[in-house]
Amino acid sequence: MPLTHTKDLFAKALKGKYALGAFNVNNMELLQAIIEACEEEKAPVMLQISKGARQYANPVYLKKLIEAAVTLSNIPIAVHLDHGDSFELCKECIDEGFTSVMIDGSHEPFDKNVEVCKRVVDYAHKHNCVVEGELGMLVGAQHDDGEEGGGYSKGGVYTHPDEAVEFVRLTGVDSLAVAIGNSHGAYKFKGEQHLDLDRLKAIKKALMDAGLGDYPLVLHGASSVPKELIEEINHYGGKMGTETAGVPEGDIEIARRVGCTKVNIDTDLRLAMTAAIRKAFAENPKEFDPRKYLGPARAKVKELVRHKVRDVLCCAGHAFD
Ligand code: G3H
Ligand code: 13P
Ligand code: ZN
């Protein structure tokens, strides 16, 4: 089966009211784990490649690995650039055949963000590729200046519903990553903080009311940072500390129902891999065959991905809709 286009995956996910897992790929074991889990669970999947992944693994190796995954499996697979930071990088990926790219101008002022997104959209749409933009900053819940005074005051770091409408209209982006208290990594929240799901609902409604339909939203920073993985890492010599916190799976469940069509997960894959490798080394310090620790790491990532697609994102069983 050739690559499946991101827009086809999105259309089916919106219709079926499930979320697509967008899992970051950096090497063969991660890719195999993701694909095997999704194949066994009959889940469509988005593989996403960051600039750092391209630098680490080399774009040609990644392309060939993904070609192997597409050849050897029968599930729908789309390939996406994660956090593209320039027109040039997006163009490279579009020219290589990625089915979607993200242009992340979220650190720029609104007008500059619009400008770079529009430039990428113009090129992408001429080359059968779709584009994800981002509005608001993924700085986590503790920096929510926009909430001061209540309501969705402009000027904060969270995505403003009206601005989301304006941004989508001005840029023509095909999906929008939102900032609702989400952030990357293993230390997302302090105390009782969590995602601003009311804001997510307001953004979705504003887009709908503006005539943009059931518009696909994207949730970055969607790892749950499972306590048992942190405990395992720490038990086998890691020092992750006690401050780790992820997005509760219940929040992801609500985000999915509200309309987050693409849910980005990377940190949890890293944690699963690290826990298994630490365990393998701790239990057998004499081991030096990489297959003996990368094998268990791949198996652990596979179980994690299986859980995500089946129990959290609910895309399992939808590969052949
Ligand atoms: O959003 C960030 C992703 O987890 C990718 O991370 O840039 O270290 O590859 P990376
Ligand atoms: P996590 O760090 O929560 O896994 O987020 C990954 C992500 O958003 C990739 O773009
Ligand atoms: Zn991200």
Range of the domain at 215: 6-312
Whether 319 is covered by a domain: the verdict is no
Whether 320 is covered by a domain: the verdict is no
- 12-66 per-position pLDDT tens digit: 999 999 999 999 999 999 999 999 999 999 999 999 999 999 999 999 999 999 9
Which CATH number goes with the domain that contains 76? 3.20.20.70
Query: Into how many domains does the chain fold?
Result: 1
Whether 214 is covered by a domain: the verdict is yes
Q: Is the CB of 24 under 6 A from ligand 1?
A: yes
The residues carrying an active-site annotation are 82
**In contact, 130 and 6? CB cutoff 8 Å:** yes
Whether 104 is covered by a domain: the verdict is yes
Residue type, 52: G
Q: From the CA of 321, how far away is ligand 1's center (Å)?
A: 31
Span 284-289, average pLDDT: 97
- 229-258 per-position pLDDT tens digit: 999 999 999 999 889 999 999 999 999 999
Ligand 1 mutation target, pool 80, 83, 89, most atoms within 8 A of CB:
83
- 268-285 per-position pLDDT tens digit: 999 999 999 999 999 999
CA distance 158 to 137: 6
The answer to which of 103-107, 143-147, 201-205, 243-247 has the lowest mean pLDDT is 143-147
Q: Whose CA is nearest to atom 9 of ligand 1?
A: 52
Q: Is the CB of 104 under 6 A from ligand 1?
A: no
pLDDT beyond 70 at 1? no
CA distance 151 to 242: 33
Which atom of ligand 1 is nearest to 50's Cα? 9
Which atom of ligand 2 is nearest to 83's Cα? 10
Which atom of ligand 1 is nearest to 221's Cα? 1
185: number of Cβ within 10 Å: 16
Whether 1 is covered by a domain: the verdict is no
Cα-to-chain-centroid distance, residue 149: 31
